[in-house]
Amino acid sequence: MAVELDVFVGNTTIMDEEVYQLWLDGYTVNDAVKVRMEGGVLEECEASADVLLSDTMDQYRTFHMCERLLHSPTKLANQLLFQIPPHRQAILIERYYAFDDAFVREVLGKKLSKGTKKDLDDISAKTSVTLKSCRRQFDNFKRVFKVVEELKGPLVENIRQHFLLSDKLARDYAAIVFFANNRFETGKRKLQYLTFQDFAFCAGQLINNWTVGAVDNLVDDMDVDLDKEFLQELKELKILITDKDLLDQHKSLVCTALRGKTKAFNEMEANFKNLSRGLVNIAAKLTNTKDVRDFFIDLVEKFIEPCRSDRWTAADMRLYLTHYTNSAHILDTFKHQVVWDRYMGVIKSCIFKMYHD
Amino acid sequence: MPGKLKAKIVAGRHLPVMDRASDLTDAFVEVKFGNTTFKTDVYPKSLNPQWNSEWFKFEVDDEDLQDEPLQITVLDHDTYSANDAIGKVYIDIDPLLCSEAASVISGWFPIYDTIHGIRGEINVLIKVELFNDLNRFRQSSCGVKFFCTTSIPRCYRAAMVHGFVEELVVNEDPEYQWIDRIRTPRASNEARQRLISLMSGELQRKIGLKVLEMGGNAVVGYLQCFDLEGESGLVVRAIGTACTLDKLTSGSAPSTNTALPTSSSSPPPFSPSKPCSRQSSSSDTDLSLTPKTGMGSGGSAGKEAGPLKTLLRQQTQTALEQREFPFFTLTSFPPGFLVHVGGVVSARSVKLLDRIHNPDEPETRDAWWEEIRQEIKSHAKALGCHAVVGYSESTSICEEVCILSASGTAAILNPRYMREGCLDTGSTDHRLFLSVPDVLFTTIDMPPEAAVTGKGCLIQARLCRLKKKAQGEVNATAISNLLPFMEYELHTQLMNKLKLRSMNALFGLHIQISVGENMLLGLASATGVYLTALPAPGGIQIAGKTPGDLNNEHHILTIQKRINDTIAKNKELYQINPPELTEELVGSPIPEPRQRSRLLRSHSESSDELSELDLSHGKKDAFVLEIDDTDAVEDIHSLLTDNSPPTGFYSCNTELMPGIYNWTSGVQMFTSVRVFRLIHANLTNQGLNKIFTDLCENLLKSFYFKLRSMIPCCLCHLNFTVAVPEEELIQVAVTAVAMTFDKDHSQEKSADKPTTKEQLQFPLELCADSSSSNNQPSSKISGTASVDYGSFADRCSTWLELLRLKAHTIRRGSVKTSRRTQSLAHSACIHAHTPPCMPPGVTVVKMTPLSFLPGTRIIKYLGIINMFFIRETTSLREEGGVSGFLHSFIAEVFAMVRAHVAALGGNAVVSYSMKECVLMENPNKNQAQCLINVSGDAVICVKETDQEPMPSTTNTGQTCSSGADGAT
């Protein structure tokens, strides 16, 4: 006796959130049945393994049929094939576009191209996220990227409207799109300690302050491309390290302010010129695309690592950067206050986020 | 030219990409009605075209308006080659022809293609302007309302129930025409869909005409079926109950309803010269196997053939009996309508199909049904009843063999309700009132006024019988020979299972026998209950063939103990705690078998053995199951292995679960289909039975599991349909609705329901001339049960005897049962409390096989939904195999039903059913085809805001009786 055909269709589409997650995670039907059995769902409802298999198959089929609609979530709301209550639609979409941090960390900043897609099995092996799930997540990134690429207006808002995602998830996608577009290097060993959320935060800072959209919100790609003019202006900051007087003056201002407030004062004083050179050099080089890609690695190498080896605490870091930024305003020969603030505002919050004790 | 149909094509959305180069579509629309076609402009390069067309106007006869659907075709314009069809929408405009139904059809419809399924949506607007035309010879029947609902629709009252209407139309099946060899599958499917749509329209129009002739204005319990007879043609047939319905306006007082508009002008509803009943001659008996094959003994020949009719014509009996068929397709009735319920009557007949030579003369098929109906009628008469309620007809076709089946419940109706008042009731009623059976089988829903103890449950009897493959008459004879045994055994199983649950009545009994090439499947479903008015059922006693064998004795004792345990467990499960007066009986599930009526399983026994049956008329019956061979042991095992639903679940196949009264608004309608392939080469009947039983049980288990989030919940109106689509395949399709209820208050209702005037009035009216003890409704629950205790004991044996006779002298597949009971005259309120808020959302269309949605009130019926779809694929694997294919097809059918309802302005479908689901597959060729026919009533329902519990039922009952009183 063999089941040749077995379907169950409800007028209101029945979807079990647990099974949906298993489907999203790329489990095969049989594996999903195993997981569900171990979860003890059988005991609660006096069912047998056959029942579970049949149910899982039904649900997998339903999800498979829904997947096409999930690719353009706005369709899900006015399609007629499935009757799904609105709150359920929201869950379906949100879960479908959710991603694994381990996976996104691997592809963050990479070109969302066929080449990367071919590497997915390696990523799958490395992150122990199933290949099927990797593909879905990768395709989601790519799909969102393609849609917002051609749209005007704020990135996060566009993503939220076209994919009906929550604010949090839309922001994460904005970060992914931003990183993919600027191809920031995130894979180096020195950057491994940083989580996706660290990067997402930094992306948010960059989008809000350094892109074209930060000054003008009616341009194509306004939130995706960095503001070229601004990057050009950053070169002017070099005076802070090339002018010896200015550098000394800056150092003494910062040291006066810091003295007695931290245990790491001696290290700060000793390292001031190095650290300042590091930060200003990063700023000055950002006109080169190559150096933009290395932005995060530079931050880590030129600033975070020296501080860490001197055992600064997070509070030390905060103290130092605050005074370092503010003291520049008191330098009377330094004329680039606006650019300095725009630069240091982002650098400060990025470093705070990236500096793990 | 009495009608003008206007259509406007507004827009499309989500269209498929038809031009790969641009990833876009140049869509335009053709709108066709009859032979007139209009086209919209091409809307270039868009997947969301905005045509916003002018109004296309069709000036047509109302006859065509009824028959024809509006056909909308969406195409992709192609400059260089033929335009590609994207898909079609067929819109039945019938609902617009009735002033009380919808006034406009407007909304998004899925664009459907028989090969690709749904491909985007189209927004259309349709209106009809009807000109009044009082041509008395007209062929149309605009304005007659149709309802699938098998009760008086909620916002109407029945001024009069006229009775049975039937009609059938036949045609050649386009799939089997020569042209099918050269046209595409798509063209062939569309031809079929269109033909069936036309035929249903025609059928409905003809039925409407009959109703008008009878003086009615509506058909209730409209049941339309297709017989796909293959080579020999396509039959569309329908039955229903003609009524005169008055709309209940919320403010109207009952007194306004006393004047009956039909009373003066229309012919008396029961007049002997019924114009509607077709007097088709059944002389063409070549096709009818029954008289010819020699199976029919002398006894039956006289019964079935001509003489009966002549006899009937001579009869000068009551008005009701003078009708050709006093049948009612309704399954629930206004209070007071049913006086007495006799028992289930059924008739089956095996026919050989032959090509329908002339589609305009569907006489052969008519004669077949005529014959069956006559048999039903005579069965009912034999039970002392003059009417058949809960009547339905069905067929099962395999190659050229067709089993026609009809069944219903013999009953006596309240003559006053019929307004004629000429029924001869006196003595008959008296007699019937006093006879109380111990078990009652019916095909109707449980009357709301019947009191039950505890809860009910779904009871199924399942049976498989192998048969040899054969052709023609030999095959038909073999099937005819098997049928009575199958019926007998299904009844036995039902009876045993009923007793195992300590219940004493079955409602909604539906027995389906399905024929395949090498087997017959029988499935009987019903809802068992413990009717308080009936005595407790006897237990089940196990007996060995060879008493004295110690080993055997021990074995029997073990089984007996298991049975007793099961009975005790079931009593607790279904909360069956009958009143104290039956305590001695209840105390021990198995009463001492002073005298036994022995129940033998029939299939293996020879007729000699059967004739030795000891059918004594004992005071108490205990069913005795004899264990004489291993088969019997297995039978008993299968009895005991029926799983009861898990905690929190109940199930029934009637509209509502007896014993649950406080439904909340959670509703989930579903359809489930399973096909099993039998892979064991040599299957025995027992093996098959087990497989079939497991199949059904596993399906139920699956439902419970899937719907576990709705607990506490009841699966209502579980409708199983079995088929043998191919050799070695068994298909079971189920449609049902899961409904939530409030657990905490499930018990209180029947107890604290105050006695109202109607409830008093009802039994008084019924029992006007019966003994005085029956006149006190309050004492009836306990009273009758104890007083008449002795008189019901022989019922079961009578029933058995009838069955035995049937099984013994094999005539044809028919069984009649003689269950009798007193009137079901107790009041219980089935209606729910006002439920918590329904979830918001305007586009949601709820569907249910029930005639209502809990917690809501139907304020308007928008018309009947009757849709037929074909889906075919040549890429079965790519669509996920047969399961994937059927899954999406069923989802598409739901979507199209919802879209039509929404376009009519409705928000729900009630009395929804899937009449047909025929799946053919050929995995080797990567092909499959499926046909689905669904129907239901589109309605607008609103949240039940006020506290009045049953506006329709109570009012209807009262107004009707007062209306009837006024008239007579």
Tens place of pLDDT for every residue, chain A, 357 residues?
578 899 999 999 988 999 999 999 999 999 999 999 888 877 776 778 888 999 999 999 999 999 999 999 988 888 899 999 999 999 999 999 999 999 999 999 888 888 788 889 999 999 999 999 999 999 999 999 999 887 878 889 999 999 999 999 999 999 999 999 889 999 888 899 999 999 999 999 998 888 877 766 666 556 778 888 888 888 888 888 888 888 888 888 988 888 888 887 888 888 888 888 999 999 988 888 888 899 999 999 989 998 888 888 888 888 889 989 988 888 877 888 888 989 999 999 999 999 887
Structure tokens at A173: 């996608």
Per residue, what are the HEC states of A114-177? Answer: HHHHHCHHHHHHHHCCCHHHHHHHHHHHHHHHHHHHCCECCHHHHHHHHHCCCHHHHHHHHHHH
Q: Is A106 in the same domain as A56? A: no
Residue ranges making up the domain that contains A75:
17-97
Closest CB from B118, B674, B839 relative to A6: B674
CA distance A346 to chain B (A): 43
Query: How far apart are the C-alpha atoms of A206 and A296, rounded to whole Å?
Result: 12
Name which of B175-189, B707-721, B790-804 the model is least confident about: B790-804
* Backbone φ, ψ for residue A309 (5° rounding): -70, -25
Query: Which residues of B are less than 8 Å from A76 in CB distance?
Result: none
Of B727 and B148, more confident: B148
Best probe of the B interface among A41, A81, A84, A89, by most B CBs < 10 A, is A81
Q: What digits encode the pLDDT tens for the residues B347-379? A: 999 988 876 666 666 678 888 999 999 999 999
With a pLDDT cut of 90, the percent of chain B lying above it is: 31
Report the residue from A3, A46, A52 with minimal CB separation from B676. A3
E strand segments, B768-830: 814-816
pLDDT value, residue B179: 73
Report yes or no: A357 at the B interface, CB cutoff 8 Å.
no
By mean pLDDT, which of A67-81, B289-303, B728-742 is the weakest?
Answer: B289-303
How far is it, in rounded angstroms, from Cα B614 to Cα B666? 51
Q: Using a pLDDT cut of 70, give the percent of chain B over it.
A: 67
Confidence of residue B540 (pLDDT cuts 50, 70, 90): confident
Considering A262-271, B578-587, B837-846, the range whose residues carry the highest mean pLDDT is A262-271
Q: What is the CATH number of the domain that holds A272?
A: 1.10.490
Quick one: closest CA in A to B647, which residue? A45
- A interface mutation test: which of B89, B122, B705, B739 has the most A CBs within 10 A? B705
* Sign of the dihedral defined by the CA atoms of residues B410, B411, B412, B414, in that order: negative
CB contact under 8 A, B705 and A45: yes
Is the same domain home to A125 and A154?
Answer: yes
- SS3 per-residue string spanning B108-175: EEEEEECCCEEEEEEEEEEEEEECCCCCCCCCCCCCCEECCCCCCCCCEEEEEEEEEEEEEEEECCHH
Q: Quickly count: other Cβ atoms within 10 Å of residue B298's Cβ.
A: 9
Nearest CA in chain B to A41: B705
Residues A316 and A344 in one domain: yes
Are residues B701 and A58, on separate chains, in Cβ contact within 8 Å?
Answer: no
Give me the pLDDT at residue B541, please: 74
Using the predicted structure, report yes or no on whether residue B254 has a pLDDT greater than 80.
no
Q: What is the pLDDT of residues B309-332, one digit of tens each?
A: 333 333 334 445 556 788 999 898
A7 is a domain residue: no
How far is it, in rounded angstroms, from Cα B422 to Cα B420? 5
Nearest CB neighbour to A85, from listed B841, B883, B919 = B841
Residues of B in contact with A44 (CB under 8 A): 708
* Averaged pLDDT score across all residues of chain B: 73
Query: Given the DSSP bridges, would you call strands B597-599 and B623-627 parallel, antiparallel or unpaired?
Result: parallel
Question: Nearest chain A Cα to B880, which residue?
Answer: A61
pTM of the predicted model as reported, rounded to 2 decimal places: 0.81
Nearest chain A CA: its distance from B643 CA (Å): 10
Radius of gyration of chain A (CA): 25
Q: Using pLDDT thresholds of 50, 70 and 90, give the confidence band for residue B383.
A: confident
Strand extents, DSSP E, B725-793: 729-741
CB contact under 8 A, B880 and A61: yes
Token readout for B22 is 């641009």
Residue A283 domain-assigned?
yes
Question: How far is B957 from B762, CA to CA, in rounded Å?
Answer: 9
Domain check: are A46 and A113 in the same one? no
Least Cα separation, residue A118 to chain B (angstroms):
24
* Residue B299 pLDDT class (50, 70, 90 cuts): very low
Are the beta carbons of B886 and A81 separated by less than 8 Å?
no
CA-based nearest distance B123→chain A, Å: 12
Helix axes of A49-70 and A29-38: crossing angle, nearest 10 degrees:
120
Q: CB A14 to CB B704 under 8 A?
A: no
**A146/B contact by beta carbon, under 8 A:** no
- Looking at beta carbons, which residues of chain A come within 8 Å of B890? 7, 9
**How far is the C-alpha of B723 from the C-alpha of B780, rounded, in Å?**
44
- CB < 8 Å to A52, chain B: 705
The DSSP code for A114 is H
pLDDT above 60: residue B819: no
Q: How far apart are CA A194 and CA A304, in angstroms?
A: 12
Is the same domain home to A255 and A350?
yes
Residues A106, A84 share a domain: no
Tell me the C-alpha to C-alpha distance, in Å, between residue B249 and each of B97, B154, B358, B730, B922: 21, 11, 47, 49, 55
Least confident residue range of A30-39, B56-65, B702-711: B56-65
**Per-residue confidence band for B690, with pLDDT thresholds at 50, 70 and 90:** confident
What's the farthest any 2 CA atoms get from each other in chain A?
A: 91
Distance from CA of B366 to the nearest CA of A (A): 36
Q: What is the pLDDT of residue A152?
A: 79
Nearest chain A residue (CA) to B898: A80
Statement: B1-132 belongs to CATH 3.40.50.720:
no
Residue B471: predicted pLDDT: 85
Structural domain total, chain A: 3
| B846: its two tokens | 């709820």
CB contact under 8 A, B668 and A86: no
Answer with the one of A62, A97, A132 that is the final residue of a domain: A97
Residue B936 has pLDDT above 90, yes or no: yes
The continuous run of DSSP H or E covering B197 comes out as helix B185-214
* pLDDT surpasses 60 at B3: yes
Query: Could you tell me if residue A56 is inside a domain?
Result: yes
Q: Is the dihedral of CA A192, A198, A200, A203 positive or negative?
A: negative
CA nearest to A45 within chain B: B705
Asked whether residue A312 is domain-assigned, the answer is yes
Range B514-530 average pLDDT = 92
Q: Domain spans of chain B?
A: 1-132, 436-741
Q: What is the pLDDT of residue A59?
A: 94
Identify the CA nearest to A285 among candidates A272, A298, A268: A298
pLDDT of residue B845: 93
Please tell me the predicted confidence (pLDDT) of residue B353.
85
Within-domain flag for A2: no
pLDDT band for position B79 (cuts 50, 70, 90): confident
* Region of residue B321 (left: phi > 0; alpha: psi -120 to 50; beta: else): alpha
pLDDT bin (cut points 50, 70, 90) of residue B581 is: very low
Q: What is B576-617 written as a DSSP string?
A: ----GGGHHHHHSSS---SS-EEE---TTS-HHHHHT--B--
Residues A25 and A84 in one domain: yes
Q: Is the distance from CB of A20 to CB of A36 less than 8 angstroms?
A: no
Distance from CA of B889 to the nearest CA of A (A): 10
Please answer whether residues B431 and B822 qualify as being in contact, where contact means their C-beta atoms are separated by less than 8 angstroms: no
Beta-strand pair B56-60/B846-847: unpaired
Is B342 within 8 Å of B818 (Cβ atoms)? yes
pLDDT beyond 80 at B100: no
Which A residues 89-118 touch B at CB under 8 Å?
none
pLDDT at B337 exceeding the cut of 90: no
User: Is the predicted pLDDT of residue B949 greater than 60, yes or no?
Assistant: no
